[in-house]
Structure 1
Amino acid sequence: MAFIHDVLEQPSYGWKDADGNLSKPSNSQVLKEFLSRLNIVKSKKNWLSFMSWAMVATLGVFFYLFLFEYFSLQGLIIAFVYSMIVMGTHGTIWYHRYCTHGAYKFSNNFWRFFTQNLTLKIIPEEIYAISHHVHHALSDQPGDPYNAQGGFLYCFLADANHQPVNRNMSEKDYCRCLTLMKHTGVTTNTYAQYQKWGSIANPFHTILGVIANWAFWFAVFYLLGGMALACAIFGAAGFWAVGVRTFNYEGHGKGEDKRREGIDHNYKDMSVNQLWPGYVAGEWHNNHHLFPKSARSGFKPHQVDMAFVYIKFMHMIGAVSSYKDSKAQFIKEYVTPFVAVEPVPVFCPVTGKQIFATK
């Protein structure tokens, strides 16, 4: 467990207090840490967090232009669908189920690149994947990078404050990080480069990849609908980039136990199933914590899982070579034992009446 506890850069206020419980910083402490983590003048090792929020700020300009220069009802509908469904589902497909959990495998690198760039690139894979391994290992415990018990701001600014990798790893631990990232196709630093830049991802290739991705999609949307469409979709992506940072606070009950009997079957942490993230992004979070390596988390009939629909379709056309599906195991362990037994009519020879008995 030492690797999991030490793989992320500990914030200045620490993971634990003097009693070994979760260290709960004030909002001012969280904001101070956030500004420190974005300060590239102070340290070039802050480049990844700075880039991540610089992208959000840039997309905010497009959001402003859409609202005050190019607003239309049609554009609003497109923006809603793109931010809520397209970006949300892609986040589940790529960052969550593939980059972190390896729930499915691509047939070749082309389909991996295709899936990676299906939408605007906003979140660096390194920031998401490594910290999410820690989240599952230490869920709702001190060290969980987005522990909801730390408060809303603790979770909202976690990508800068709690999710970057430890900048002082040994070469052995750095190699373990590379093993967690190698299937994603991200161009990584050598150990010497890591010591210089404080990241797994290579700065040059990462920045170049974002520029190429944004240029491609801007050209596509501009050709399809001019500046109005481009601003609507780029602005929507910025809206999603802000909104997605609130998910784990909500998805773990805002720091309270909001699990419901018969709906949330995992009682090892505070994760809950929610209808909205489930329908728009395939993120049935409590189910996912039960079976994190499953390519499907919508196990019950009403739990629509569009992320799995994409993975299943890609498997049908040969783009995905294999995937893991834990639905049958979920049904066996959490549904079948609790299904009401159907009564059947039985003739009672003593009373001469028909009664109902269970099978």
Structure 2
Amino acid sequence: MAFLNTVLEPPSYGWTDKDGNLSKPTNGKIVKEFFSRLNVFKDKKNWLSFLSWTLVLCLAPFLGLFFFKYFTVTGLIVAFVYSMIIMGTHGTIWHHRYCTHGAYTFTNKFWRFFTQNLTLKIIPEEIYAVSHHVHHALSDQPGDPYNAQGGFLYCFLADVNHQPVARNLSEADYKKCVNLMKHVGVIPNTYKQYQKWGTIANPYRTIAGIILNWGFWFTAFYLMGGMPLACAVFGSAGVWAVGVRTFNYEGHGKGQDKRRDGVDHNRDDMSINQLWPGYVAGEWHNNHHLFPKSARSGFKRHQLDLAWCYIKFMSIIGAVSSYRDSKKQFLAEYCNKEAVTLQPAIALVKTKPVFVVVE
């Protein structure tokens, strides 16, 4: 816990106020911090945050071209499916369940690379995975990088203001940080390179990987449907990249306790299960906070989990060698208690009349 308390670069307004409570900066302070930490001319260690939002801006022209030049109803449907379902589910499969929690393992590096690049590469693994470990350790507490009690902007701009790795880690702590990412396939900087760039990821390798990924997918979609399809897909990916930054604010009740009895069984934080993120991305968030290392979080019959469907399919064809599935434990602990308690009483009622008749 001590390591996770210090692994992220604290914002200028701090994690806590003078009384030890969550620091709740004004929107003005949050925006000022955001632009300060995007400034690569001021500090080149801001490069990863700058790159992340630059990618979003690069996708904006494709969205404009789609709506004002290539718009069709079919294209709109494709854009919806790609952004809401494909991008959303891939984010759960790759960034959430694999990069952060290691809920499953690949048979070899090929299948890891295949899964990593199934969609446009927009969110750097480092920004997501390291900070998400902190989120689980300090959920809804000061230090949680996207604490919903801090407000909408506190969460929406967290990838720049709160999620980057700390820049003054000791060599020992840096090795621990790298260890959180060792299974992901990101070649880490040496400690000396980390001191220069402030990140685990190397800027040259990261940018080269994104160029190759975008080049491949643009070529593929262009060959399948020309500029209309390419613009629909790339533009919608930008919409997803913005929309996904709102999830944790919504997924933790907008800073309020919106948990429901019989629906949200985890009571250690304010996470809630929501139908829309659950169905389109397999993100049953309260279930996930109960069993974060499970490759499945849609435990109940109505909880469709497309991310789990992909992981299970990959296991069937031999691409995934192992996974954790906490469904049985969830059902036993949270859904079957009443049934298990009633079984002996029911048996007694059934057997007593028979005993009397025989006697």
TM-score by length of 2: 0.95
* Deviation of the 1:338 alpha carbon: 3.0
In structure 1, distance between residues paired with 2:183 and 2:4: 19
Give the distance between the partners of 1:272 and 1:263, measured in 2 at CA: 8
Q: 2:304 maps to what in 1?
A: 304
**Alignment pair present for 1:338 and 2:338:** yes
Q: Deviations over 1:10-67 (max 9, x none)?
A: 0000000000000000000000000001000000000000000000001111111111
Q: Match of 2:141?
A: 141
Which secondary structure state, in structure 1, belongs to the residue aligned with residue 321 of structure 2?
strand
User: What residue in structure 1 maps to residue 112 of structure 2?
Assistant: 112
User: 1:203 maps to which residue?
Assistant: 203
Query: 1:203 is matched by which residue type in structure 2?
Result: P
2:154 matched residue in structure 1: 154
**Structure 1 contact 187–206 (Cα < 8 Å) conserved:** no
Distance (Å, rounded) in 2 between the aligned partners of 1:73 and 1:160: 35
TM-aligned CA deviation for residue 346 of structure 1 = 6.7
**Which amino acid letter does the alignment assign opposite residue 159 of structure 2?**
D
Q: Is the 8 Å Cα contact of residues 62 and 231 (structure 1) preserved in structure 2?
A: yes
Q: Counterparts of 2:135 and 2:46 in 1: how far apart (Å)?
A: 22
Shift of 1:213: 0.1
1:347–1:122 CA distance, 2 compared to 1 (3 A): closer
The Cα offsets for residues 104-145 of structure 1, whole Å up to 9 and x where unpaired, read as: 000000000000000000000000000000000000000000
Distance in 1 (alpha carbons) for counterparts of 2:152 and 2:238: 19
Matched with 2:125 is 125
Segments of 5+ residues of structure 2 without an aligned counterpart are 354-359
- Residue 227 (str. 1) matches residue 188 (str. 2): no
User: What do the CA deviations read for 1:285-332 (whole angstroms, capped 9, x no partner)?
Assistant: 000000000000000000000000000000001000000000000011
C-alpha separation in 2, matches of 1:55 and 1:126: 16
Name 1:354's counterpart in structure 2: none
Task: Kindly provide the CA deviation profile for residues 167-219 of structure 1, in whole angstroms up to 9, marking residues without a partner as x.
Answer: 00000000001110010001210000000000000110000000000000000
Correspondences of 1:1-359 after superposition (within 5 Å): 1-339=1-339, 341=342
Partner SS state of residue 105, structure 2: strand
Q: State the alpha-carbon separation in 2 of the partners of residues 165 and 61 from structure 1.
A: 31
Change (3 A) 1:346 1:114: closer
Q: 1:14 aligns to what SS in structure 2?
A: coil
Report the Cα offset of residue 333 of structure 1. Answer: 0.3
Kindly tell me the number of residue pairs found equivalent between the two proteins.
Answer: 349
Unaligned runs of 5+ in 1: 350-359
Q: Secondary structure at the match of 2:86?
A: helix
Distance 1:292 1:53 in 2: 28
Q: What one-letter code is carried by the residue in structure 1 that aligns with 2:252?
A: H
Q: Is the alpha carbon distance of 1:18 and 1:233 closer, same or farther for their aligned partners in structure 2, counting shifts above 3 Å?
A: same
Please give the alpha-carbon distance, in whole angstroms, between the structure 2 residues aligned to 1:168 and 1:130.
Answer: 15
Over residues 143-179 of structure 1, what are the superposed CA-to-partner deviations in whole Å (9 max), with x where a residue is unaligned? Answer: 0000000000000000000000000000000000111
One-letter amino acid of the counterpart of residue 272, structure 1: I
> Within 2, Cα distance between the matches of 1:22 and 1:68?
44
Q: Equivalent residue for 1:352? A: none
Q: Deviations over 1:206-251 (max 9, x none)?
A: 0000000000000000000000000000001000000000000000
Query: Identity percentage over the alignment?
Result: 73
Give the 3-state SS of the residue equivalent to 2:8 in structure 1.
coil
Query: Which amino acid in 2 is paired with 1:52?
Result: S
After TM superposition, give the deviation of residue 341 of structure 1 in Å.
Answer: 4.9
Worse-matched range after superposition: 337-346 or 196-205: 337-346
Could you give the per-residue CA deviations for residues 52-87 of structure 1, whole angstroms, max 9, x where no partner exists?
A: 000000111111111111111000000000000000
The offset of 1:88, in angstroms, is 0.3
For 1:25 and 1:256, how far apart are their aligned partners in 2? 18
The separation in 2 between residues aligned to 1:212 and 1:53, in whole angstroms, is 18
Q: CA RMSD in A?
A: 1.4
Whole-angstrom distance in 2 between the partners of 1:19 and 1:338:
44
